[in-house]
Every structure is written in C-alpha cells, then in structure tokens.
Structure 1
Amino acid sequence: MQKGPDQEFHPVVFLRKKLSERESNWSVSEKECYAIVYTLEKLCPYVWGRRFHLQTDHAALQWLHTTKGNNKKLIRWSLALQDFDFDIQHISGASNKVADALSRESFPESTG
C-alpha cells in the first residue's frame, strides 16, 4: 500500500500464485507464511534494504521473528525472512476486504 495524493492508501501491486496439489495440503499457517515468502521473493528489488510493515489477518504469523516451534518448513522460511527489515501487523479479517475478495474470487487463467 502506498499513500496517494488524496492521502489515502492504495494498492501498488497484486500478486497471485496457484498452489500445487502438494501445497494445497499445507496447513493454513504454512500457506499464509508461504504467501509472504513468495511475495517478498517477487518484490525483493523494491523492499530490500527498506523498513516496511507487513499486514496480515493471520495472527499466528506474528511469531515469524522468533522462530519458535518444530515445523521445519516454517522455521526455514522464518530464517529466510530475517534478511528483510519488517514488522508484522495483525489486522482483522473484516478490515482486509480487498485481500479477502481477491483470495476467494475465481478468475480465468491468463493465456499470456
């Protein structure tokens, strides 16, 4: 999100990725964490070396900076995310209408 001339926040980019069959069997926390990892890989040139706020409606991801737990995949991703300078802000799902709408809507596959 970026503040526009009207002083309101506007989306800068929308990303999406279709999960493989194996990925679709992951837990909700794994899927949510993977979304962050995938997004930061794609946006690395824009966020690398800059402090930013990451907003999520998945409260369980607030542990990412502490790498607690025994899920090796989540711990590995948490370590990879340590290269970025961000804090995680929980926002309620009700306040996250754009992301919810995009994640639940069915879009035709692009051909290009």
Structure 2
Amino acid sequence: MQEGPDQEFHPVVFLSKKLSERESPCTISKKECYAIVYALEKLHPYVWGWRFHLQTDHAALKWLHTIKDNNKKLLRWSLALQDFDFEIQHISGASNKVADALSHESSPASTG
C-alpha cells in the first residue's frame, strides 16, 4: 500500500498463487511465511534497497527475522528475507479488510 495525496493508503498491487498439493497441507504459519517469500520475490525490483513495513494479520510471523527453528524450510526462507530491509507489523484482520477479503475464496465452486 502507498500513501496517496488524500493521506489515505491505497493498494498498489495484488498477488495471488494457488498452492500445490504438496504445499496445501502445510501449517498456517508456513503458508503465511511462504506468501511473504513469494511476494518479495515478485516485488524484489520495487522494494529492494528501500525500508518498508510488511503488514500481516498473522501475529506469529513477527518472529521471522529471529528464527531459531530447526525447520530447514523456514530457516531457508528467513535467510532469503534477510536481503530486505523491512519491519513486520501485526494488523488485525478486522483492520485489514482488503487483504482479509482477498484471502477468502468466494467463488461458487469453492463452497461445495
């Protein structure tokens, strides 16, 4: 999101990726972490070299910069993110209506 002339923050881009069969059974924390890694890979040319705030409604991800987990995948992702200068901020889903709405499938095919 970027602040506009009206002093309000507006979305700049939306990213989406369907998880593979191997990725789908992962924990919510791993999925959320993967979403950050995926987004920063895609947005690398736009955010690299800039300090930015990464807002997530998943409070557990605040540990991402200081991971001491034995999980190799999480450690690899944490190392990949060290190239970026960002601060993770928790923002409740109720305060982040745009992202919250996008994270829920609403197509008729997904309800059955």
TM over 0.5: yes
Provide the residue aligned with 2:12 in structure 1. 12
TM norm structure 2: 0.92
Q: Is the 8 A contact 1:52 1:87 kept in 2?
A: yes
Provide the residue aligned with 2:75 in structure 1. 75
Q: Is the 8 A contact 1:4 1:10 kept in 2?
A: yes
Provide the residue aligned with 1:39 in structure 2. 39
Alpha-carbon shift at residue 92 of structure 1 (Å): 1.0
Provide the residue aligned with 2:58 in structure 1. 58
CA deviation vs aligned residue, 1:34-55 (integer Å, no higher than 9, x gap): 0000000000000011000000
Provide the residue aligned with 1:49 in structure 2. 49
Query: Matches of 1:100 and 1:55 in 2, distance apart?
Result: 12
Alpha-carbon shift at residue 106 of structure 1 (Å): 3.5
CA deviation vs aligned residue, 1:22-72 (integer Å, no higher than 9, x gap): 111111010000000000000000001100000001111111111222211
SS in structure 2 at match of 1:16: coil
Gaps spanning 5+ residues in structure 1: where? Answer: none
Alpha-carbon shift at residue 107 of structure 1 (Å): 5.3
Provide the residue aligned with 1:101 in structure 2. 101
SS in structure 1 at match of 2:23: helix
Query: Matches of 1:13 and 1:107 in 2, distance apart?
Result: 21
Root-mean-square deviation (CA, aligned residues, Å) is 1.3
Count residues with an aligned counterpart. Answer: 108
Q: Is the 8 A contact 1:67 1:79 kept in 2?
A: no
Equivalent pairs: percent with the same residue? 84
